[in-house]
Structures are given as structure tokens and as C-alpha cells.
Amino acid sequence: MLVIGRDVIDAIIEHARRDHPWEACGIVAGAIGSDRPDRWIPMDNVEQSTTFYRFDPTEQLRVWRELDDRDEEPIVIYHSHTETEAVPSRTDVAIAGYPDAHYLLVTTRDQDKDEFRSFRIRPVAEGAREKAVDEEPVRVIDASVDPAAVTTYMFGQVQTNVDYECPA
Amino acid sequence: MAIEVRIPTILRSHTGGAKAVEGRGDTIADLLADLDSRHAGLRARLVTDEGALHRFVNVYINDEDVRFLGALDAKLNDGDTVTILPAVAGGALAFAAAAALAGNR
């Protein structure tokens, strides 16, 4: 199961809608081993495509080094599909290289409906190249219950128009 | 000439779980051949049958992507750190890209 804060998922969906019709992509980092995606990091899609995404390799190294410095790892790796369902394609599965991450798919094919689904994409056995895809439920937790529970962070594309529900 | 090589999780089955190993070589190509002699199968995950760096693996010498330094011909100096990171990529387009990947395996 993927447990993720409401403000993080909202930031991801807004990122996907903002970049539509290009695919949007990014990660959510969290403390190593915690399985808690706390820190939202949108990444540039260097392909700038409606059907393909790729992290810029130099930017990826910078982010991964930062994760290392902070004892974090990519808990969630997300990207959007702009016309198809929120399910990993054969390409997504073939390239997926982070067996410990939750692969979160968002689709922006419908303007009025938010659709996101989460998957694990892992080698079928240790060292195998063939991968298994397993969908998992997503539990969205409400950050307004505990405002300190989930934090967000912006990197790379710096659009700062994320809406937070501010309790009075 | 000792080069530290950082190994991503998905390739650690080839290094007995180690997240860093040591190798030697004047170029990335030499280094990968050297590593493969002790960590069987590692090179095959990084280099295609045609002898090119796999499209969706990123290799860095210190802070630089080796694709800017000559890829497999990139030169190494004593004390360099080589980092291997699987690319993060994908997308809705299935067939053409997947076919290209099948050619790259």
C-alpha cells in the first residue's frame, strides 16, 4: 500500500495538469526505510513529449546526491499519462529501475476527474531482468489533521502556486 | 589505479549486495571489463550487444555524465568515483519504444 499525504498528492496532480499535454514527472522523497513520501520534488521532463518522459541525467545525479546527504530515498516515482489510463505501459515497466519505489501514475485524460494509481515494479527474482507489476491501494492521509506530518519541497521547475488548505 | 564504483540497488545482485565496489581501468570500457571479471553479469546490464552504453543507464565520473566525456571511451583518473544510476524514464508510448528496448537488451 502507498500511504501519501493529501497535499503531496494534490501537488502531483496539479503538476500533471500544469504540464498537460506533456507528461509530467518527479519523485517524492522520504527517510530511507520509512516508506513515507514526505518531500515532493517535481523534475523536468527533458523529453518534453506527450508520450514519453525522462529525467535529465545531470539533474537526476544532483537530486540523488541530495537524497544521499539527507539519508533519503525516492519513495515515490511518479509520472503522468495524458491520454491513456494511469497504468504502467510496457515502456514504463521495461525501464523501471527502482524496485523499492512506489510507481505512481496520474492520468490527465479527463479534465474533471482526478485519477491516480500506484504500482510496484520489481524483478521477478533477484537479478532477473523480467519484472512483475503489482497494483497497490493508495491511502491518502489528510495533512490538516497533523500539519507537521507531511512537508513539501520544490526543486527544478519552480512554480509556487500550490494551494494549501489553511485551517483558520 | 583505484576507482570507486557506486552500484544502484537493482544491480547489487551482481556484487553480492555491495553498494560500492572497486575497479581499475583507464576508460569506462576498461573499468567495466575489470568489474565483470569479479562481478559476473554486471557489464551485460550496462553495455548492449552492439558495444554501446545502454540507453537507460546513466554513468557518471564524479559529477559528469559520461555521455559528455566520450561514453565508454571516457577517461578515468586515479581517485575518480564512478556512479551508476538507472535512468528514470518511460511513458505511454508502448510499441516503438519497447521495440527499441528489446534491441538494446
Confidence of residue B61 (pLDDT cuts 50, 70, 90): very high
| A113-158 per-position pLDDT tens digit | 999 999 999 999 988 889 999 999 999 998 665 555 544 443 434 4
**Could you identify the residue written with the cell 519552480?**
A158
Convert chain B into a string of H (helix), E (strand) and C (coil).
CCEEEECCHHHHHHHCCCCEEEECCCEHHHHHHHHHHHCCCHHHHHECCCCCECCCEEEEECCEEHHHCCHHHCECCCCCEEEEEECCEECCCCHHHHHHHHHHC
Confidence of residue A9 (pLDDT cuts 50, 70, 90): very high
Q: Which residue has the higher pLDDT, A75 or A151?
A: A75
| A20-42 per-position pLDDT tens digit | 999 999 999 999 999 999 999 99
User: Closest Cα to residue A75, out of A36, A46, A24?
Assistant: A36
> Is B98–A88 a contact, with Cβ atoms under 8 angstroms apart?
no
pLDDT at A156: 39
pLDDT at A127: 82
Partnered with residue A138 across adjacent β-strands are A2
Q: Distance, in angstroms, between B46 CA and closest chain A CA? A: 12
Does residue B62 register a pLDDT over 80? yes
When mean pLDDT is compared across A45-49, B34-38, B94-98, the lowest value belongs to: B94-98
Does residue A69 register a pLDDT over 50? yes
**Could you identify the residue written with the cell 539533474?**
A59
Instruction: Compute the mean pLDDT over every residue in chain B, rounded to the nearest whole number.
Output: 91
Q: What class has domain B3-104?
A: alpha beta
pLDDT at B104: 52
d(CA B12, CA B29): 20
Residues of B with CB under 8 A from a CB of A: 8-10, 13-14, 41, 56-58, 60, 63-65, 67, 83, 85-95, 97-98, 101, 105
**ipTM of this complex prediction, to 2 decimal places:** 0.87
> Is B85–A81 a contact, with Cβ atoms under 8 angstroms apart?
no
Q: Distance, in angstroms, between A26 CA and closest chain B CA? A: 9
> Is B87–A98 a contact, with Cβ atoms under 8 angstroms apart?
no
Which of chain A's residues have a Cβ under 8 Å away from the Cβ of B14? Answer: 127
Q: Break chain B into its structural domains and give their ranges.
A: 3-104
Instruction: Compute the mean pLDDT over every residue in chain A, rounded to the nearest whole number.
Output: 88
Which among B41, B64, B91 has the least Cβ separation from residue A49? Answer: B91
Which among B13, B56, B92 has the least Cβ separation from residue A95? Answer: B56
**What are the structural domains of chain A?**
2-141 (3.40.140.10)
pLDDT at B103: 54
pLDDT at B102: 54
Does residue B97 register a pLDDT over 60? no
On whether any CB of chain B is under 8 Å from the CB of A22, the answer is no
